[in-house]
Amino acid sequence: MDIRYVSTTCPYCGTGCGFNLVVRDGKVFDVAHWQRAPVNGGKLCPKGRYAHEFINSPDRLTKPLIKKEGRFVEATWDEAYDLIAERFGSYKPDEMACLSSARASNEENYLMQKFARAVLKTPNIDHCARLCHASTVAGLAAVFGSGAMTNSIQDISESKCVFVLGSNTFEQHPLIARSIIRARQGGAKVIVADPRYTPTAQQADLYMPFISGTDVAILNGLMQEIIRNGREDKEFIAQRTKDYEKLKEVVMKETYSLENVSKISGIPVESLRTAAEWIAGAEVATLIYSMGITQHTTGVDNVKSTANLMMLTGNLGKPGGGVNPLRGQNNVQGACDMGCLPNVFSGYQKVTDEEVRKKMMEAWGVDDIAEARVGYTVTEMMNVLTDNPGEIRAMYIMGENPMLSDPDIQHVEEGLRNLEFLVVQDIFLTETAGFADVVLPAACYAEKDGTQTNTERRVQRWKKAQDPPGEAKPDWQIICELGARMGYAEQFAYENPEEVFNEVAAVTPSYHGISYSRLDPDGLHWPCPTAEHPGTPILHREKFAMPDGLGVFSPIEWKPPAEVPDAEYPFVLTTGRVIWQWHTGTMTRRSWSLEKEAPIGWIEINTEDAKELGIKDQEVVRASTRRGSIDIPARVTPEIVKGVMFIPFHYREHPANRLTHNALDPIAKIPEFKACAVKVEKIAEE
């Protein structure tokens, strides 16, 4: 018997934990702790511990499928490539769109945007960061010049005050939560604001339950209190920032007095006062947020407000400080870095910059690429498909499942049905793949080499542990073969992912100094501009990444969510995840150790609300919004704020996104998953 241990990086959340895949006779059969792993030091959460269980699932796709007369028929790779090349070749560039994948490697994401821009010549390339942290990328880039976590995971433990706003860190990024625990052991105060009394809230020194969608009001209120007491960091404001007076003009309004903010948010005045005191009084404070901040029609405003608070208190550019957005998927940071966004090439180089376009064309060996304009985002693509059928006629979706993950899935379904030609590349036949004309079987993380970039900008290796099942192939190889089939053999002639990475490093300033040989075992934090550079765990130490080096205060007024409760839909619905499942469940629901812990969806209802509605715990109720209805078991609990309800979005049997609202942030185009109006009713007995 041949047993091997292959160190690699977890395929679930953006923490980027390392572990060993245990391989017996060529097949992965277990996960073992890798004590040397740089982020997690050998510790794992349940998803990482059982990250081997789906790999050899009997449901894996093993052959290309082509739909004929409404049914999938197995095909050869040649047949599939010929059909795709012929159909893609028949459309104009604007008639096509591509979705890349935050679960694929950096190399694969880089190739996907290269394929979209250089082969299809379409500007329409995006991925699921649009649904989670598009507002972070836009918001932090506007104020700091860089749209990523400012400090490292380990650095959080240096903090003396940790403010967690809109992040259930202990369930969703458990190995980052260890840094919060360490900070607390070092004397830090922990403040958690969340509409639910989550496992994270349970660890707090101060828990502030609040009504979803009131974040800007809360942050403005805290800033007013700090300024009123003269606790702002005057030196930092004078030397490192601009537009402070503009901020002050807004946050000092009567609207943001603690009394008013308390009425808007539901947080007691005393709690707000204590939070302001702890944040301003700490030697160094950090703010951690996640999708509770970003998934709003005011997502960019929310993000900018977090930056306002931390600049006001001088908590940028030093250990234990920072604005730290925790990214969702394992490689969502990398997919953004690689340019799978409609406005930028890799390294956030603008698609409208002529110099950059020239550089890319030279590097790619092509005479023309997609027009110099910003293409459609994921959410805009879905709107165009339904509102203007025929404008986008063909799509190529790699490793995404919008039929469960996107808001208002009836709308997504209508859009996908309006497509003339859809290619889906994935490891399982997902809900979205069911709508495809061609399905391409892909390799999973354990079956290929590559790199991914975690939430703290650390680039790390994936290493191949076993062969893909049947005829499945790594995404990078499929894209290259398809590129060659469409006449770009030379431009996609890579022998292996390392060659792709070398091209990434050559054209991407923040990755210039990174190479495979430098990544073992600790990885490197970008920016890493030269081969000698040690990487940058903490950003903005001396100056911000703006032309004048100054951070920009943004005066932001609070706006309520796009849809607020009324007589017909009297509650706020918010959605999220649970520790045992991952996004649309394609992997975790095929991992029995995880699935058995949380096999069905539910709606969380506050005890008093349930009593008024006459609903009992575990009773199946009907939840409805203006988009649709689902029947779902009730979980009656005091651990959610009265007036707010919560549904995890993993379950196809109880699809939360049948209810969610497709209203978008005007800048980031991120949907408002965290607040819409809902009603809940008893189901009449037959």
Minimum CB distance to ligand SF4, residue 579 (Å): 9
Q: Which is nearer to ligand SF4, 16 or 325 (CB)?
A: 16
Q: What is the DSSP letter of 165?
A: E
Instruction: Give Rg (Cα) of the chain.
Output: 24
Among 45, 280, 291, 340, the residue binding ligand SF4 under the rule CB under 6 A is 45
| Token output for 632 | 């779902």
Angle, in degrees to the nearest 10, between helices 244-251 and 215-228: 110
- 417 neighbors 404 (Cβ within 8 angstroms): no
The residue with its CB nearest to ligand SF4 is 48
The answer to whether residue 334 forms part of the interface with ligand SF4 (CB under 6 A) is no
Among 10, 65, 340, 645, the residue binding ligand SF4 under the rule CB under 6 A is 10
Among 44, 219, 309, 647, the residue binding ligand SF4 under the rule CB under 6 A is 44
Q: Which is nearer to ligand SF4, 172 or 302 (CB)?
A: 172
Cβ-proximal residues to 161 (8 Å cutoff; 6+ apart), any chain: 188, 189, 190, 191, 278, 279, 281, 282, 284, 285, 286
Minimum CB distance to ligand SF4, residue 61 (Å): 23
The answer to whether residue 48 forms part of the interface with ligand SF4 (CB under 6 A) is yes
Q: Which is nearer to ligand SF4, 39 or 66 (CB)?
A: 39
Q: Which is nearer to ligand SF4, 328 or 483 (CB)?
A: 328
Give CA separation, 230 vs 162, 224, 227, 242, in Å.
21, 10, 5, 18
The answer to whether residue 15 forms part of the interface with ligand SF4 (CB under 6 A) is yes
φ, ψ for residue 109 (rounded to 5)? Answer: -65, -40
Among 13, 23, 370, 465, the residue binding ligand SF4 under the rule CB under 6 A is 13
Q: What is the DSSP letter of 679?
A: E
Q: Which is nearer to ligand SF4, 170 or 364 (CB)?
A: 170
Among 6, 7, 8, 12, the residue binding ligand SF4 under the rule CB under 6 A is 12
Minimum CB distance to ligand SF4, residue 192 (Å): 18
Only one of the segments 168-176, 442-450, 501-509, 567-575 lies at the binding site for ligand SF4 (rule: CB under 6 A); that segment is 168-176
Minimum CB distance to ligand SF4, residue 460 (Å): 11
Only one of the segments 9-17, 480-488, 522-530, 644-652 lies at the binding site for ligand SF4 (rule: CB under 6 A); that segment is 9-17
Q: What is the DSSP letter of 467?
A: P
| Separation CA 398–CA 395 (nearest Å) | 10
The answer to whether residue 173 forms part of the interface with ligand SF4 (CB under 6 A) is yes
- 271 neighbors 293 (Cβ within 8 angstroms): no
Q: Which is nearer to ligand SF4, 445 or 526 (CB)?
A: 445
Q: Which is nearer to ligand SF4, 174 or 468 (CB)?
A: 174
Minimum CB distance to ligand SF4, residue 94 (Å): 38
Binding mask 503-522 for ligand SF4 (x = CB under 6 A): --------------------
φ, ψ for residue 199 (rounded to 5)? Answer: -55, -30
Only one of the segments 41-49, 110-118, 144-152, 292-300 lies at the binding site for ligand SF4 (rule: CB under 6 A); that segment is 41-49
- Which neighbouring-strand residues pair with 453? 459
Establish whether the linkage from the previous residue to 521 is cis, with ω within 30° of 0. Answer: yes
| Separation CA 456–CA 170 (nearest Å) | 17
Minimum CB distance to ligand SF4, residue 337 (Å): 18
Minimum CB distance to ligand SF4, residue 179 (Å): 12
Minimum CB distance to ligand SF4, residue 173 (Å): 6
- 174-206 burial by CB neighbour count: b if 16+ within 10 A, else e? bbbbbbbbebbeeebbbbbbbbbbbebbebbeb
- 202 neighbors 173 (Cβ within 8 angstroms): no
- 673 neighbors 569 (Cβ within 8 angstroms): no
Only one of the segments 59-67, 116-124, 170-178, 196-204 lies at the binding site for ligand SF4 (rule: CB under 6 A); that segment is 170-178
Select from 462, 203, 570, 505 the least CA-distant residue to 337. Answer: 505
The answer to whether residue 47 forms part of the interface with ligand SF4 (CB under 6 A) is yes
| Separation CA 455–CA 335 (nearest Å) | 11
Q: Which is nearer to ligand SF4, 16 or 441 (CB)?
A: 16
Q: Which residues contact ligand SF4 (rule: CB under 6 A)?
A: 10, 12-13, 15-17, 40, 44-45, 47-48, 173-175
